[in-house]
């Protein structure tokens, strides 16, 4: 994590101008960083179009291309066109960091990218050290507090807290946990356990599988254990291509929504299409966006995206669906563009300051970027997969829910405030140059 001073120093130095720590005030700085219409604005687009995460990240890549084309057709940002610098890390975590390092060397300091926490953990230290800015769009485990990232996906409380009471009331209080073996699923499981305990339930089993697993037989023993433990429902945080194998094998071995339903937080419309509707129908997800959200802004977004994808021969025959993660990507891109338009600057410092407290009329809802922690206030929803591969929305929060970067139950005394800084018991965590501060877990 970098502090305010080091962000300024690195970011300004990266543009080849003098570094002055007091130059943080955006309106005073904007003239220094004013967009030059003769020079393109470089955008690093870092999504895996291939590999086991291509099922999801390719959709995020497509919406990035749509936004860039749309902005450029309209004349750019104050006359400057957006120039994408595209990297396909091919689902290799070190490749995200390597790609960012290369792009920073080419003068790129704005990044749209990443899906998994593993990819974010790879790329973010490089972006921080280089004084760049990442717009990260995926639901994640929280605990990332930095001025170098705008977070438009959900925190654990914006998925888990609404879904546990719903599933308890509908099915019962015995829960089996399964997830991919990396930081996001394991941290989400801790949030689930906290809520299960709070509402008087019990965890009857917990298993994790390698993130790259695609062999359906790898789930045989786990499914056997699920049958033996007889939970009321399964909470799944299996992601990417592994989720396809799990959902298919689940039904093949005799489990389904009528006997043991699944609440899958990572299950979005592309996963349903990639898995097969027949394997997902009747199972549940808790998300802040579904394609079925009945909102004029969403209908326009769906129409625009469908027309764009269908206009590209290279994507012929691929499913044309929207999802929570690609919609959150779109929201981050819109925030980035609006910030550049408002400040007449493409400098990370000015963009971050303009995004603080920004309200956005997004496809999912009228949402807001938190001015302190740079995460987003969202409207959680619960959906069930229908026979068309879409989600019927069964419940939604009446008000926006604030992001909890740190859980009061799991991370007592830890908080994110003061514009993207860690605090423990109201004391700022010291930051060393070139390193990231890691908060002790539990």
Angle at which helix 54-73 crosses helix 296-310, to 10 degrees, equals: 90
Q: Do 18 and 147 fall within a single domain?
A: yes
DSSP 170: H
Is 346 part of any domain?
Answer: yes
State residue 437's pLDDT score: 36
In contact, 390 and 381? CB cutoff 8 Å: no
Q: Do 20 and 135 fall within a single domain?
A: yes
Is 310 part of any domain?
Answer: yes
Rounded Cα distance, 47 and 426, in Å? 37
Rounded Cα distance, 312 and 74, in Å? 19
Angle at which helix 117-129 crosses helix 183-198, to 10 degrees, equals: 120
Nearest to 77 by CA among 331, 333, 346: 346
pLDDT in tens, 299-345: 999 999 999 999 999 998 888 889 999 999 999 999 999 999 999 99
In contact, 42 and 308? CB cutoff 8 Å: no
Instruction: Give the domain range for residue 247.
Output: 160-264
Q: Do 200 and 323 fall within a single domain?
A: no
Is 399 part of any domain?
Answer: no
Who has greater pLDDT, 204 or 140?
Answer: 204
Q: Do 11 and 109 fall within a single domain?
A: yes
Lowest-pLDDT choice from 1-10, 220-229, 339-348 = 1-10
Q: How confident is the model at residue 430 (pLDDT cuts 50, 70, 90)?
A: low
Is 17 part of any domain?
Answer: yes
Name, in order, each residue with C-beta under 8 angstroms of 74's C-beta and a sequence gap of 6 or more.
Answer: none
Is 149 part of any domain?
Answer: yes
Rounded Cα distance, 442 and 189, in Å? 13
pLDDT in tens, 145-190: 888 999 999 999 999 999 999 999 999 999 999 999 988 899 899 9
* R_g of the chain, CA atoms, integer Å: 21
Tally of structural domains, the chain: 2
CATH number at residue 212: 3.40.50.2300
Q: Do 203 and 221 fall within a single domain?
A: yes
Q: Which of 244, 264, 284 is the last residue of a domain?
A: 264
Q: Do 198 and 148 fall within a single domain?
A: no
Is 183 part of any domain?
Answer: yes
Is 401 part of any domain?
Answer: no
Is 289 part of any domain?
Answer: no
pLDDT in tens, 85-128: 999 999 999 999 999 999 999 999 999 999 888 899 999 999 99
In contact, 265 and 286? CB cutoff 8 Å: yes
Q: Do 55 and 107 fall within a single domain?
A: yes
> What pTM was estimated for this model as a whole?
0.86
pLDDT in tens, 273-294: 889 999 999 999 999 999 999 9
State residue 275's pLDDT score: 93
Q: Do 123 and 64 fall within a single domain?
A: yes
């Amino acid at each position: 994590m970098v502090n305010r001073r080091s962000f300024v120093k690195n970011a300004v130095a990266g543009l080849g101008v003098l570094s002055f720590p007091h130059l943080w005030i955006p309106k005073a700085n904007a003239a220094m960083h004013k967009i030059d219409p003769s020079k393109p604005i470089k955008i690093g687009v870092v999504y895996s179009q291939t590999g086991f995460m291509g099922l999801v990240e390719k959709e995020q890549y497509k919406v990035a291309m749509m936004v860039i084309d749309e902005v450029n057709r309209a004349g750019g940002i104050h006359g400057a066109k957006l120039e994408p610098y595209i990297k396909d890390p091919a689902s290799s975590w070190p490749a995200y960091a390597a790609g960012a390092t290369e792009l920073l060397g080419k003068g790129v300091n704005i990044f749209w990218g990443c899906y998994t926490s593993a990819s974010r953990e790879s790329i973010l230290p490089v972006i921080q050290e280089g004084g760049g800015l990442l717009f990260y769009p995926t639901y994640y485990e929280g605990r990332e507090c930095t001025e170098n990232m705008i977070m438009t996906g959900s925190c654990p409380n914006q998925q888990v807290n609404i879904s546990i009471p719903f599933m308890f009331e509908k099915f019962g209080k015995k829960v089996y946990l399964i997830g991919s073996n990396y930081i996001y699923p394991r941290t989400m499981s801790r949030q689930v356990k906290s809520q299960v305990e709070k509402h008087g339930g019990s965890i009857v089993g917990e298993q994790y599988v390698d993130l790259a697993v695609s062999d359906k037989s790898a789930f045989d023993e786990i499914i056997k254990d699920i049958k033996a433990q007889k939970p009321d429902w399964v909470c799944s945080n299996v992601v990417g291509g592994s989720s396809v194998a799990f959902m298919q094998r689940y039904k093949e071995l005799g489990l389904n929504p009528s006997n043991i339903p699944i609440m899958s937080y990572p299950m979005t419309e592309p996963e349903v299409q990639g898995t097969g509707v027949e394997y997902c129908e009747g199972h549940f997800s808790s998300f802040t966006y579904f394609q079925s959200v009945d909102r004029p802004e969403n209908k326009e977004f769906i129409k625009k995206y469908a027309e764009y994808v269908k206009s590209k021969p290279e994507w012929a025959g691929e499913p044309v669906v929207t999802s929570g993660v690609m919609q959150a990507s779109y929201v981050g891109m819109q925030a980035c563009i609006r910030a550049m338009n408002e400040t007449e600057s493409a400098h990370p410092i000015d963009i971050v300051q303009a995004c603080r407290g920004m309200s956005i009329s997004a496809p999912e809802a009228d949402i807001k970027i938190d001015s302190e922690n740079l995460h987003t206030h969202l409207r959680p929803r619960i959906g069930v997969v229908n026979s068309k591969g879409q989600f019927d929305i069964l419940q939604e929060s009446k008000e926006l829910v604030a992001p909890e970067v740190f859980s009061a139950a799991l991370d007592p005394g830890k908080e994110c405030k003061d514009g993207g800084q860690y605090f423990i018991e109201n004391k700022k965590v010291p930051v060393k140059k070139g390193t990231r501060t890691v908060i002790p877990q539990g």
